């Protein structure tokens, strides 16, 4: 562990550096645990058997994750006496489609999954969203266990119940809220991730500090190396992130208010991601990193937070090795009007006003519903040149 105090948001006992943590998502009758720690995929059978005795499991995963982790999960289910079937989809965003949904739904029906059985989503955000949505609709709803294997999915997409697929008209436009009954985040699974993907996932960890917890952000400034290299601080960081998200989801499950805070950096970020063609040129977390820097710089410009806060946010993300400026995106991007069109498509525009997540300081984000589009355009024009 680093010598810096751990974040206050994690109210769990401090044990050995790699001791597993449990974070509870308090949603009344639909409350569930997020178990976090190294090696947890190896004991997932025991957890599932305790949660739902006698249930069968339908594993949904992709070809890459199957090579890395499927053997261990199947052995763990076998050891616990759990019968299982497996659906394997192609890796990548293309599977989050009507065709991908058809493959998974038909696979679950062919495996005779019944309503008391469980779907086990084993993989990153694509598998979690796709398998979660298939579980939400097959037989009018089968419970899902999320077993996220990327940092981004461990700290964000596996928690909170957003599931879905992409429409040809836009990302995540077809979906459902379908909370998991258990999340198992094996932090050792992150050891096999490419460094760039791990860093991109880290942007979402930093987001929780930037949006609502200055103490967490201060801790991350000292602990990020260990989090990326995989020491005990990684478990702590995933737990702190999940605790932050769980608290927000518990008070606004379906995003009628505070849950929008989780979109810090996403309005600018989505426009850049779309402008780069949702390609390897700019990963989602990298776009969020630039987007968060822009949101803080814009907040400083409006006099909402200090320039030092904006610089502090940017310095940290830069130190981690994340892109922080529009100019960091390789290749061509749409011009400023093109980016504004993408922003308008992503978020509601009402009589020239946009909704953004802005900040009054580190850890003090808020939803701003009446941001002047002309002022955002002028700011973006300037930032493109910076
Ligand atoms: N990823 C944002 C949310 O779950 O609301």
Cβ(207) – ligand 1 distance below 6 Å: no
Cβ(245) – ligand 1 distance below 6 Å: no
User: Could you tell me if residue 202 is inside a domain?
Assistant: no
275 near 338, Cβ under 8 Å?
A: yes
Sign of the four-CA dihedral 337, 340, 346, 349 = negative
Q: Are residues 227 and 308 in the same domain?
A: yes
179-208 burial: b if 16+ Cβ within 10 Å, else e: bbbbbbbbbbbbeebeeebbbbbbbbbbbb
Cβ(312) – ligand 1 distance below 6 Å: no
CATH of the domain at 89: 3.40.50.1970
Give the position, in ligand 1's atom list, of the atom nearest the Cα of 263. Answer: 2
Q: Give distance in angstroms: CA of 245 to centre of ligand 1.
A: 8
Q: What's the whole-number mean pLDDT along residues 52-56?
A: 98
Q: Give distance in angstroms: CA of 9 to centre of ligand 1.
A: 19
Q: Are residues 217 and 357 in the same domain?
A: yes
**Cα 188 to Cα 235: distance, rounded to the nearest angstrom:** 9
| Position 6 confidence tier, pLDDT thresholds 50, 70, 90 | low
Q: Structural domain of residue 371, as residue ranges?
A: 208-385
**Residue 7: per-residue pLDDT:** 56
Q: Give distance in angstroms: CA of 383 to centre of ligand 1.
A: 27
Q: Nearest-CA neighbor of 40 among 25, 56, 53, 22?
A: 22
Sign of the four-CA dihedral 271, 94, 206, 195 = negative
Give the position, in ligand 1's atom list, of the atom nearest the Cα of 260. Answer: 5
Nearest protein CA to atom 3 of ligand 1, as residue: 262
**Residue 169: per-residue pLDDT:** 87
Q: Nearest-CA neighbor of 224 among 257, 261, 198?
A: 198
User: Could you tell me if residue 27 is inside a domain?
Assistant: yes
363 near 212, Cβ under 8 Å?
A: yes
**3-state secondary structure string across 275-309:** HCCCCCCCCHHHHHHHHHHHHHHHHHHCCCCCHHH
pLDDT higher for 12 or 150? 150
Cβ(175) – ligand 1 distance below 6 Å: no
Nearest protein CA to atom 2 of ligand 1, as residue: 262
Q: Are residues 56 and 104 in the same domain?
A: yes
| Position 350 confidence tier, pLDDT thresholds 50, 70, 90 | low
Give the position, in ligand 1's atom list, of the atom nearest the Cα of 259. Answer: 5
**Residue 344: per-residue pLDDT:** 87
Q: Are residues 16 and 119 in the same domain?
A: yes
What DSSP designation does 42 have?
G
The 3-state DSSP class for residue 25 equals strand
Beta-carbon contacts of residue 200 (< 8 Å; ≥ 6 apart): 152, 283, 284, 285, 286, 289, 322
Q: Are residues 35 and 110 in the same domain?
A: yes
User: Could you tell me if residue 192 is inside a domain?
Assistant: yes
**Cα 121 to Cα 107: distance, rounded to the nearest angstrom:** 13
Q: Is 263 exposed, middle or buried (0-12, 13-18, 19+ CB in 10 A)?
A: buried
**Percent of the chain predicted with pLDDT > 90:** 90
59 near 48, Cβ under 8 Å?
A: no
What pLDDT, in 10s, does the model give residues 75-122? Answer: 999 999 999 999 999 999 999 999 999 999 999 999 999 999 999 999
**Residue 346: per-residue pLDDT:** 72
Last residue of a domain, one of 132, 166, 197: 197
User: Could you tell me if residue 330 is inside a domain?
Assistant: yes
What pLDDT, in 10s, does the model give residues 14-44? Answer: 444 568 999 999 999 999 999 999 999 999 9
Q: Is the pLDDT of residue 4 over 50?
A: no
Q: Nearest-CA neighbor of 365 among 216, 254, 236?
A: 216
Extract the tokens encoding 288: 């969020």
Q: Are residues 191 and 215 in the same domain?
A: no
Beta-carbon contacts of residue 224 (< 8 Å; ≥ 6 apart): 202, 316, 319, 320
Cβ(287) – ligand 1 distance below 6 Å: no
**Residue 351: per-residue pLDDT:** 65
| Position 330 confidence tier, pLDDT thresholds 50, 70, 90 | very high
User: Could you tell me if residue 69 is inside a domain?
Assistant: yes
Q: Nearest-CA neighbor of 197 among 157, 139, 153, 244?
A: 153
What pLDDT, in 10s, does the model give residues 184-243? Answer: 999 999 999 999 999 999 999 999 999 999 999 999 999 999 999 998 899 999 999 999
The 3-state DSSP class for residue 347 equals coil
**Residue 345: per-residue pLDDT:** 81
Task: Report the catalytic residues.
Answer: 140, 162, 204, 245, 255, 259, 263, 266, 270, 284
Give the position, in ligand 1's atom list, of the atom nearest the Cα of 245. Answer: 4
Cβ(236) – ligand 1 distance below 6 Å: no
Last residue of a domain, one of 141, 168, 197: 197
Q: Give distance in angstroms: CA of 372 to centre of ligand 1.
A: 25
Q: Are residues 292 and 185 in the same domain?
A: no
Q: Give distance in angstroms: CA of 205 to centre of ligand 1.
A: 13
**Cα 133 to Cα 96: distance, rounded to the nearest angstrom:** 10
Do strands 170-177 and 162-167 pair parallel, antiparallel, or not at all (unpaired)? antiparallel
Helix and strand numbers (H, E) in the chain are 14, 12
**Residue 1: per-residue pLDDT:** 35
Q: Is the pLDDT of residue 10 over 70?
A: no
What pLDDT, in 10s, does the model give residues 262-316? Answer: 999 999 999 999 999 999 999 999 999 999 999 999 999 999 999 999 999 999 9
Cβ(162) – ligand 1 distance below 6 Å: yes
Cβ(273) – ligand 1 distance below 6 Å: no
**Cα 149 to Cα 41: distance, rounded to the nearest angstrom:** 10
The 3-state DSSP class for residue 381 equals helix
Cβ(259) – ligand 1 distance below 6 Å: yes
Q: Give distance in angstroms: CA of 207 to centre of ligand 1.
A: 12
């Amino acid at each position: 562990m680093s010598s810096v105090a751990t974040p206050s948001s994690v109210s769990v006992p401090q044990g050995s550096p790699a001791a597993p943590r449990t974070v509870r998502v308090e949603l009344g009758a639909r409350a569930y645990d997020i178990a976090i720690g190294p090696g947890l995929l190896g004991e997932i059978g025991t957890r599932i058997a305790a949660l739902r005795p006698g249930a069968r499991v339908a594993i949904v995963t992709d070809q890459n994750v199957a090579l890395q982790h499927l053997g261990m999960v199947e052995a763990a289910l076998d050891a616990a006496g759990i019968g299982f079937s497996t659906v394997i989809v192609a890796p990548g965003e293309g599977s989050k489609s009507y065709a991908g949904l058809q493959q998974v739904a038909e696979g679950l029906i062919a495996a005779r999954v019944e309503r008391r059985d469980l779907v086990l989503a084993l993989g990153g955000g694509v598998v979690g969203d796709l398998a979660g949505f298939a579980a939400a609709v097959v037989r009018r709803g089968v419970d899902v266990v999320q077993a996220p294997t990327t940092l981004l999915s461990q700290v964000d997409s596996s928690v909170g119940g957003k599931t879905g697929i992409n429409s040809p008209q836009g990302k995540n436009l077809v979906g459902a809220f379908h909370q998991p009954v258990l999340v198992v985040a094996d932090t050792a699974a992150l050891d096999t991730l490419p460094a760039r993907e791990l860093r991109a996932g880290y942007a979402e960890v930093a987001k929780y500090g930037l949006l609502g917890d200055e103490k967490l952000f201060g801790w991350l400034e000292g602990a990020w190396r260990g989090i990326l290299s995989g020491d005990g601080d990684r478990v702590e960081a995933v737990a702190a992130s999940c605790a932050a998200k769980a608290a927000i989801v518990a008070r606004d499950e379906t995003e009628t208010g505070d849950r929008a805070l989780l979109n810090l950096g996403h309005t600018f970020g989505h426009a850049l991601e779309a402008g780069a063609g949702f390609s390897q040129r700019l990963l989602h977390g990298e776009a969020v990193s630039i987007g968060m820097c822009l949101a803080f710089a814009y907040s400083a410009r409006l006099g909402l937070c200090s320039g030092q806060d904006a610089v502090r946010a940017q310095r940290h993300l830069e130190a981690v090795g994340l892109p922080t400026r529009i100019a960091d995106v390789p290749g061509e991007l749409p011009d400023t009007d093109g980016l504004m069109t993408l922003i308008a498509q992503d978020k509601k525009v009402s009589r020239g006003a946009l909704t953004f997540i802005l900040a009054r300081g580190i850890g003090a984000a808020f939803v701003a519903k009446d941001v002047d589009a002309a002022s955002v355009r002028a700011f973006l024009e300037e930032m493109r040149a910076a």
